[in-house]
Structure 1
Amino acid sequence: MTVTLANLLAILAMAAATYATRVSGLFIADRIPKSGRARAALDALPAAVLTAVIAPTAVATGPAETIAAGITVLAAFRLPLLATVVVGVVAVVVLRLLLGS
């Protein structure tokens, strides 16, 4: 594999952007509101991003995966994270076997 100058510069630029994003959190952490509506919006952000990433994949893959995603969401209301992951994986495996996907 040959590394060209353009590839090397792209990798270094991506590394710098990633590092800058992480370090910027240290500098703006004291400016984040501790209460109020802005804080509530920031608290909801991780779940919103996760939903935006997972939902299209769950709906576009097939019926077994879509049903398993629904089962996993329901399990997440009652179970801790690790148990929810186990329920999701088992649901996909069983549904794929039953539905022949």
Structure 2
Amino acid sequence: MNTAALFTIAGMAIVTYLTRVLGYLMLRNRHLNLRARSVMESAPGCVMVSAIAPYMVSTNPAMVIAMLITVGCAIRLSMLPTLLISIASLGILQIVLG
């Protein structure tokens, strides 16, 4: 792994961690109304969508099928089962379809 990739990954990890910590510190003594709470609860879903969005334009059949499975699971299941099923389905499909 080259140095630029390592620094990029480390930078993304630090920024992700800081957004969590700073958000907690800024909101720890505040009472959120229903709308604000709803926005905060939907944030993990937004992160998941941004992670799978590049695969929506992929030409790899395993990735496209796994993305469709993920969308189907996201409609019916909570975040953790959806994540586990999507990871497992992509792994299995990559083995089967190459």
TM-score normalised by the chain length of structure 1: 0.52
Q: Aligned residues: percent identity?
A: 30
Root-mean-square deviation (CA), in Å?
A: 3.6
- Tell me, yes or no, if structure 1 residue 68 matches structure 2 residue 66: yes
Q: Which letter does structure 2 place at the counterpart of 1:37?
A: R
Q: 1:37 to 1:66 in 2, by over 3 A?
A: same
Q: 1:70 to 1:42 in 2, by over 3 A?
A: same
Match of residue 89 from structure 1: 88
Does the CA contact (< 8 Å) of 1:72 and 1:85 recur in 2? Answer: no
- Tell me, yes or no, if structure 1 residue 52 matches structure 2 residue 50: yes
Match of residue 25 from structure 1: 23
Aligned residues: 84
Q: Among 14, 33, 36, which residue is 1:35 paired with?
A: 33
Unaligned runs of 5+ in 1: 1-9
Q: 1:68 to 1:21 in 2, by over 3 A?
A: closer
* SS of 2:41 mapped into structure 1: helix
1:39-96 deviation per Cα after TM superposition (whole angstroms, max 9, x unaligned): 2112111101210122213532512211122113323424783586246524652465
TM-score normalised by the chain length of structure 2: 0.53
